[in-house]
Structure 1
Amino acid sequence: MSTLILMTTAPTSSISWHALGLAQSLEKQGLPLSVFFYQDAVHIANALNWMPDDQRNLTQEWQKLKVRLPVCVSAALNRGITDQENAIRHQLSQSNLAERFELVGLGELADAIQSSERVIQF
């Protein structure tokens, strides 16, 4: 059964960690999985997120998964997160999108919803 994890929760919420745990479990079981970062969850894709050495870094944990990490471009730009291409287009001084995350349009979310057997929103 293919699963889409729709992330909408900020990385400061414990719910974001539950979503990661589900993704890790599905991947470990070899089950089809896709993810989409939307609303406040786009903050997970910020390369400037910092955590003390004694705490796990949510961004880095998502990067370890073998799954695409698409991020809504509009939600990201609205929250100060951009890749190099959009930084140039919108005359921003730098980019800060974390590695392996990619900015995409909402059409990708629509496609993921259509091709998934279940959608779980966190």
Structure 2
Amino acid sequence: MSTLILMTSSPSSIIAWHALGLAQALKKEDAPFSVFFYQDSVYVANALTWLPDDQRNLTHEWQKLNIRLPVCVSAALNRGITDQDNAIRHQLTQSNLAESFELVGLGELAGAIESSDRVIQF
């Protein structure tokens, strides 16, 4: 059974950490799953977010999973997060998309929903 983890919660929410825990458990069990970052969850893909050394970094934890990390391009751009291509296209001075994350369209979400047996939204 394949699972889509649909992220919509802000990275500052405890719910976002529960989603990461589910992803870690699914990966450990070799269960098929995918993730999609949408709405306020796209903030996790901001490479310029700073946290003190004594706090766990949600961005780094997602990166450690070594899975595909698609982020809704419209939601990201609306929240000031961009990759190099979109920075050039929209005449922005720099990019700030964290490594391993990729900006994609909502067609990716539609495809992920269609190919998944269940969708769990956090």
TM-score, length basis structure 2: 0.99
Structure 2 Cα separation of the partners of residues 12 and 91 of structure 1? 29
Give the superposition deviation at 1:66: 2.5
Residue aligning to 1:16: 16
Aligned residues: 122
Structure 2 Cα separation of the partners of residues 110 and 65 of structure 1? 23
Structure 1 Cα separation of the partners of residues 111 and 18 of structure 2? 24
Residue aligning to 2:2: 2
Q: Contact 1:5–1:36 (CA<8 Å) still a contact in 2?
A: yes
- Aligned-residue CA RMSD (Å): 0.5
Structure 2 Cα separation of the partners of residues 92 and 47 of structure 1? 16
Residue aligning to 2:65: 65
Residue aligning to 2:82: 82
Give the superposition deviation at 1:72: 0.2
The reply to whether residue 98 of structure 1 matches residue 98 of structure 2 is yes
Q: Contact 1:82–1:96 (CA<8 Å) still a contact in 2?
A: yes
Letter matched to residue 25 of structure 1: A
Equivalent residue of 2:35, what SS?
A: strand
Equivalent residue of 1:82, what SS?
A: coil
Identity percentage of aligned residues: 80
Equivalent residue of 2:119, what SS?
A: strand
Structure 1 Cα separation of the partners of residues 10 and 54 of structure 2? 21
Give 5+ residue unaligned stretches, structure 2.
Answer: none
- After TM superposition, what 4+ stretches of structure 1 lie above 6 angstroms from structure 2? none
Give the superposition deviation at 1:61: 0.2
Give the superposition deviation at 1:33: 0.9
Give 5+ residue unaligned stretches, structure 1.
Answer: none
